[in-house]
Amino acid sequence: MAARIILLTGFEPFGGETSNPSWEVASRLARTKFGSAEVKAARLPVDCKRAASEIKTAIARLKPVAVIGLGQAGGRTALSIEKVAINLADERADRESGEQAAGRAIVRGGPDAYFARLPIASIIEAITKRGIPAAMSLSAGAYVCNTVMYVTLHQLRRLPDVAAGFIHLPFEARQAVRHSSTPSMTVDLMTAGVETALTVVAKRLKRKK
């Protein structure tokens, strides 16, 4: 029997960085197997329209049983398991954290928001048991990470059994050198945390089989 696919996405470096922990983690976990499911990793551009197009193409091509997006959120102190994606795309990342977020609807006529289809509480419990900081987040922002999460859930709206969601990662330890007093985490630790999340999701998939 052919392996079922878990699609794991990360982003290219942006904002003057030479690396992006989301892609470093995703690429490390590529081809990892969780029971009958195998991870396929996709690297996305840091551009709302292009990233939306690429995630839709990847979902249509791979027909995954689960989709988890990874993104960088500098300043966060833990792996942030996102609860909700909103129907708003602002192409300027520097406006994301303020009150000036404007932009456009990601999907015209689409719902105002979608909730993640991940067992968030179980994921957080499993990650923190390994001594890795993790928490639920109620804001994926309004930039490309939120766009990818929203488009993923919209694309899967008629496939309710497909698990889907998004995890934000802190700065990688080497990046923090450029950002004084900024929280960070090693790629090894972030990889272990995401691997744990995938294990929890894969166990749920087994039950639905």
**Would you name the residues annotated as active-site residues?**
82, 145, 168
Could you tell me which of 177, 156, 70, 172 has the C-alpha nearest to residue 107?
156
User: What CA–CA distance (Å, rounded) separates 198 from 206?
Assistant: 12
Residue 28: CB partners within 8 Å, gap ≥ 6?
Answer: 187, 191
SS3 21: helix
